[in-house]
Amino acid sequence: MAIDKFLIEASHIMMFARSVGDSNPIYHDEDYAKSTELGGIIPPPTFAQSSAQFDPEYFLRPKVGGDGWFGSGKEATGSKPSSGSGGGGGAAMGLHAEQHFEYHLPVKAGDTLSATTKPGKAWEKESKRAGKLKFSESVTEYRNQDGDLVITATGVGVQTERAVDS
């Protein structure tokens, strides 16, 4: 995955913060945010995940005018899912196993980040709850408009042999 422009926008931050149950004004009230040491609206700690919005190839979003979305319509599924990716949540049998963020420099509304992702380690494990598990790691580096590394995100995805017993 490569993202040229991940715009850090106040309204997107507001919507994201709402969805994670966070009413902190630092995420939606510009006047308040400007009065703090941070000097403006900042994104919540897991906001980098929403860079998927800016990935033209992101496979867990129905494409405009495209076909092949695997969610239900007339039938329970539209089509076969395309291949999974580490840490992104995976396809029909893919799940997110771990996520790690390292914050190197502050990010604020108004910044424009770019992101590049590289595959990391891969390993396998047997489990009672879901059969054979195939883990794969992906490491995404987010840089700001000055080219400085701001966030490193490491995701671990797991493909399970079958649905996980709960």
Partner 1 sequence: MLKENEINIGDTHTATLVEDLKRTQIVQYAGASGDYNPLHTDEIFTTQIAGYPSVFAHGMLSMGLTGTMLTDYVGDGTLMKYGVRFTNQVWPGDTLKSTATIVDIRDQDGERVVDLEVVTTNQNEVPVVTGNATAKIES
Where on the chain is the footprint of partner 1 (CB under 8 A)? 12, 15-16, 18-22, 24, 26, 36-38, 42, 44-46, 49-50, 52-53, 58, 60-62, 70-72, 76-77, 88-93, 95-103, 106, 154, 162-164, 166
CB-nearer residue toward partner 1: 62 or 119: 62
* Phi/psi of residue 10, nearest 5 degrees: -60, -40
CB-nearer residue toward partner 1: 11 or 145: 11
As measured in angstroms, the least distance from the Cβ of 147 to partner 1 is 21
As measured in angstroms, the least distance from the Cβ of 101 to partner 1 is 5
CB-nearer residue toward partner 1: 49 or 143: 49
As measured in angstroms, the least distance from the Cβ of 100 to partner 1 is 3
And the tokens for 116?
């590049």
Taking alpha carbons only, the member of 124, 126, 144 closest to residue 42 is: 144
Name, in order, each residue with C-beta under 8 angstroms of 95's C-beta and a sequence gap of 6 or more: 89, 157, 158, 160, 164
CB-nearer residue toward partner 1: 96 or 134: 96
